Structure 1
Amino acid sequence: MAGANPQPTPQPSLSAGERQSLMARWGAQIQRRIERARPRVRDTGRAVLRLTITPAGQLTGVGIAQSSGNPGLDQAALQAVRGAGRFPAAPDGLTEASYGFSLPVTFR
């Protein structure tokens, strides 16, 4: 039929294992970016952050999922996220509006 618009080809859905693998790979890239932006502090500890990120790599939410027990370290962990800049885009196949990650930030 002339002038008809072809229907987009639906993307095959990912298996749970494929999705988990893509999320793990993307999460590792995000964590490396945060680690590089981590400020130097004298104290040691570990905070776990909860991040919400779009497939384009835009941070839409961040908070403390598990405190280090030290408010200064918790703030330094949040500062690392905010200082990391734009995060890597999601791997092909991850197409939801946003994704949540729980990532540790360790200070030694």
Structure 2
Amino acid sequence: MEVHGAPEISQSVLDTGEAVPTAKADSYALGASLFISATGWRAVAYPDDASREEQRQAVVEGPHRPVNVPGVLGKLIEHMLSPAPDDRPTLAEVCDAFRAEL
């Protein structure tokens, strides 16, 4: 199983063994899922056989792969993968962006 959690969630798990989910972390996780769906690559590079701890450390330390997805989807994914939780869109904003494109 791969880690698609937000950097702040991964850091919390590394530090305390626990995580408190947030809507901003959900936005990141959805962005990471969209990224891998659109590109076939994880947003953060780590070996396929990396342990969960190594995966989380990679998510925390980055670097993230560039978002080379064209158009509105690429801009949205880039926004969702922001390392700063307050810079990520809300899930309502994500839904609005999708609706605007349909």
TM-score (ref. length: structure 1): 0.29
More strand by share: 1
Which is greater in Rg? Answer: 1
More helix by share: 2
